[in-house]
Homo-oligomer: A and B are copies of this chain.
Amino acid sequence: MPDSRFARTPEPPYYAVIFASQRTEGDQGYAQMASLMDELAQQQPGYLGAEFARDASGFGITVSYWESLQAIADWKAQADHAQAQRLGKRDWYAGFELRISKVERAYNFRAQGAA
């Protein structure tokens, strides 16, 4: 099992940014930006990891995990990320819902034999 798809988060409490989005058609530079944002997020103070999935229809969910609301606010304001947010609304997303939540409890499971 590709265990790396799961974020290795600490014991709660911490914060989750739940980002559900519908992509527009075509790439329009999205893949390159997404890869860069992933790299930059990992350099942000307070970043704990992320999980994401997008299906063939272009609907996707990314959940990123953070130590604090301040860490989320700092990432929102990061200059390159702010530019990506502008292009996201102009070119890449037909729509999105963004929710900021505080993780209070967590539980996991791995099947026997799974890596």
Chain A residues engaging chain B, CB cutoff 8 angstroms = 1-3, 5-7, 9, 12, 16, 18, 20, 22, 24, 51-57, 59-61, 63, 89, 93-111, 114
Contacts and interface: CB of A to CB of B under 8 A. Distances in A.
A2, A18, A99: most-surrounded residue (chain B CB, <10 A)? A99
Nearest to A113: B94
A52 B12 CA distance: 23
B55 A53 contact: yes
Copies in the complex: 2
Contact of A51 (B61, B89, B108, B110): B61
A57 B55 CA distance: 10
Contact of A2 (B59, B89, B93, B105): B59
Given A1-B94, A97-B106, A102-B104, 10 more contacts: A2-B57, A3-B95, A16-B99, A18-B18, A51-B61, A63-B63, A95-B108, A95-B110, A95-B114, A97-B107
